[in-house]
Amino acid sequence: MRLFLQINICDWKDLSYQTPLTGYASSLSDDIIGTDLDYRSEPYVADLVLKLAMQAEVIFLYVVATDNTLPLGTSLNVFNQLLRSKEKIQKAILSGEHAMANKMLRPLQDKFVISNDEETVKIMIRQFALEKS
């Protein structure tokens, strides 16, 4: 199983609970599960996401940030746990600006990309879907 994980560090009104890239990624292959997490998600939701991440063979991490002043909240624990098994992360993308998220993702080095262009992100998602783990 492969995991597409979108972490939203933005006001809920900015996304209005829509995560079209999560559905897009899931539609590309039967073995890709797409899920998302909000910086304000309940801790039990973050735990469920982490269980999925631990079961996944490969992870595509997409972080959407629209407000640099927002805390990482419950997503901080998810970042920390993902970085402990960073060999599973195939690609991590930061869309928008968030200094702390950027700092958390920097250790991924060449797996980490900053991109605000949705079409470019879709290309990377398609590459993820095409590569079998």
pLDDT at 49: 96
Domain range list for the chain = 2-130
**CB-based burial label for 51 (10 Å; 0-12, 13-18, 19+):** exposed
Write out the H or E segment, with its range, that includes residue 99.
Answer: helix 99-105
What per-residue confidence (pLDDT) applies to 20?
Answer: 81
In this structure, are residues 25 and 131 in contact, taking their beta carbons and an 8 Å threshold?
no
Fold exhibited by the domain 2-130? Rossmann fold (3.40.50)
Report CA-CA distances (Å) from 129 to 2, 19, 29, 81, 118: 9, 17, 6, 23, 16
Q: Residue-wise pLDDT tens for the chain (133 aa)?
A: 999 999 999 876 655 555 689 999 999 999 999 999 999 999 999 999 999 999 999 999 999 998 899 999 999 999 999 999 999 999 999 999 999 999 999 999 999 999 999 999 999 999 999 986 5
